[in-house]
Amino acid sequence: MTRTRLRVESWSQDATEEVLMTKNAMCVIALSLLAIGSTGCGDSTPATPDATTGGDAGGMPSLDGGAPPSLDGRWSSDCLPSPQADGSTQYFRLDFDLASARWDLDYVVHGDPACEVPLVTVSIAGPYTLERPSPTVAGAWEARFGFERKTIRPEVDGLRDFLNSLDGCGEAEFETGVAQDVFASGCPAFGQYPESVCPADYDLVKREGQVLRFGERPADNDMCTPEKRPTTLSPVENRRR
C-alpha cells in the first residue's frame, strides 16, 4: 500500500502535526454528495443511532406517501471520525445549503478530532430533484443530485503535492488555499469522476424532523447511474441549523 505523509501546518502554532494518509484514507475525501461514515472507507466506524421520527414546526408532509419533504435550509453534520482499515483516522464535517431545487455542499476533511486543522475542502453545487418514494427504504425518497460545479481546495502543502501527483486530476497545478474546478476533467483517484461519465449522483434522502440523511456511499464513490443508487441509508446525521 502506498503511503503519503502530509506535513500539516497549523496557523495557531509553529509546530507541525504529521498526518498519515494512505490510498484507503483518501477514500474519505472522495465524495459527491458525501454522507459517508460507516463502511464506505473503513471497517470500524461506529454506527450512529437513527433520529427520532417527527415533523417540523411548519407541518412537513409525511414521508410515507404523498408530497416529498421540504429540504430547504442549512444542514450540518458533527465533526465525525472515519477510522480507516490501516488504523489511521480522518475527521470530516458536512455543510449543506439546500433550496427548493438546488444544493450546495462544503465537505471539509480535517486532521484532528476537533475539526480545527483542515486538510482539504471539496465544494459541490447543482440542481436536484426528489423523484419518487424509495421502494426499499421506508420513509426515504429516491433523488437525483446534479452537478454544475465541483472544486477541490487543498488547505495544506502536503495535500497540494498529493493532488499534483495524481494522474488526470484537474487541468492545472493545484495551489494551497486555491480552489480548482474539476467538474469537466474529474479527479478519479480522488473519487471525482468527469462530467462526461458522471453528470449526477443517484441517491437516497430521508428527512426525520430536524435530521437529514442520505444514502450509504460505495467505496468507489460511484453513484453515477440509477443502478448505482444506494439501498441503505448512511448513519451520518445532518441537523438543521
Average pLDDT over residues 207-212: 97
Amino acid 240: pLDDT: 96
Regarding predicted confidence, which is higher, 89 or 50?
A: 89
Average pLDDT over residues 148-155: 96
| 145 closest CA partner among 197, 72, 203 | 203
Amino acid 31: pLDDT: 39
Task: Please report, rounded to a whole number, the percentage of residues in the chain having pLDDT higher than 90.
Answer: 65
Regarding predicted confidence, which is higher, 123 or 67?
A: 123
Amino acid 65: pLDDT: 56
Task: Tell me, letter by letter, the H, E, C secondary structure of the chain.
Answer: CCEEEEEEECCCCCCEEEEEEEHHHHHHHCCCCCCCCCCCCCCCCCCCCCCCCCCCCCCCCCCCCCCCCCCCEEEECCCEEEECCCCCEEEEEEEEEECCCEEEEEEEEECCCCCCCEEEEEEEEEEEEEEEECCCCCCCEEEEEECCEEEEEECCHHHHHHHHHCCCCCCCCCCCCCCEECCCCCEHHHCECCCCCCCEEEEEEEEECCEEEEECCCCCCCCCCHHHCCCCECCCCEEEC
Q: Is the pLDDT of residue 117 over 70?
A: yes
Q: Is the pLDDT of residue 37 over 80?
A: no
Residues with Cβ within 8 Å of 101's Cβ and at least 6 positions away in sequence, in order, are 127, 128, 129
Q: Across the chain, what does the average pLDDT equal?
A: 79
Strand partners, 90: 82
Strands 149-154 and 118-133: antiparallel
161-194 residue pLDDT tens = 999 999 999 999 999 999 999 999 999 888 899 9
pLDDT band of residue 35 (cuts 50, 70, 90) is very low
75-110 residue pLDDT tens = 999 999 978 677 888 899 999 999 999 999 999 999
Residues with Cβ within 8 Å of 195's Cβ and at least 6 positions away in sequence, in order, are 147, 183, 184, 186
CA 124 to chain centre: 9
Average pLDDT over residues 212-216: 97
| 120 closest CA partner among 133, 110, 130, 135 | 110
Residues with Cβ within 8 Å of 13's Cβ and at least 6 positions away in sequence, in order, are none
* Alpha-carbon gap, residue 40 to 189, rounded angstroms: 15
Which of 7-16, 123-132, 201-210 is the least confident region?
Answer: 7-16
CA distances from 115 to 8, 49, 109, 137, 232 (A): 13, 22, 8, 32, 27
Average pLDDT over residues 66-78: 94
Give me the residue spans of the domains in the chain. 3-240
